[in-house]
Amino acid sequence: MGDLDTVPGVASAAKRRMDDGEFVFTVDGVTKVIQECTAVGIAVLGIEVFPGLNVSTYDLRLKAPTLEASWRGYVDVNNALAEDFIRGNPAPPTSECILTTASWREFCELARRFKFK
């Protein structure tokens, strides 16, 4: 279970869950999910839209974040780019998508595991 599971309304907004636990959303409802993520400080790192597999192309790299305060700005900018991606890549409203996300806690855990700064 990732931190995305703890965001109010995310589970109910999901159309279904994949076998690996990832939430699957419809394109017409995912903007609200991104906004909920922004409100609680979870960054949307990528979006995959299918069928037709359209993978997000925005790439905002976080370089050596040493303070959680810098995470907030990263979340705000990155999630705005995620919303722009959904608006700029129209798909039928019933198309499905998966969000790749990370909270500050999850980011720190990855940084410890892979020893990057």
Domain of residue 105, residue span: 3-114
User: Given pLDDT bands bounded at 50, 70 and 90, which one contains residue 110?
Assistant: confident
Sheet holding 43-50, edge to edge: 16-17, 23-26, 96-102, 43-50, 54-55
Q: How far apart are CA 97 and CA 23, in angstroms?
A: 9
pLDDT in tens, 82-97: 999 999 988 898 899 9
Q: Which helix (H) or strand (E) holds 97?
A: strand 96-102
How much is the pTM? 0.87
Looking at the structure of the chain, the number of domains it has is 1
Give the CATH number of the domain where residue 109 resides: 3.30.190
User: What backbone torsions phi and psi does residue 94 show, to the nearest 5 degrees?
Assistant: -90, -5
pLDDT in tens, 21-42: 999 999 999 999 999 999 999 9
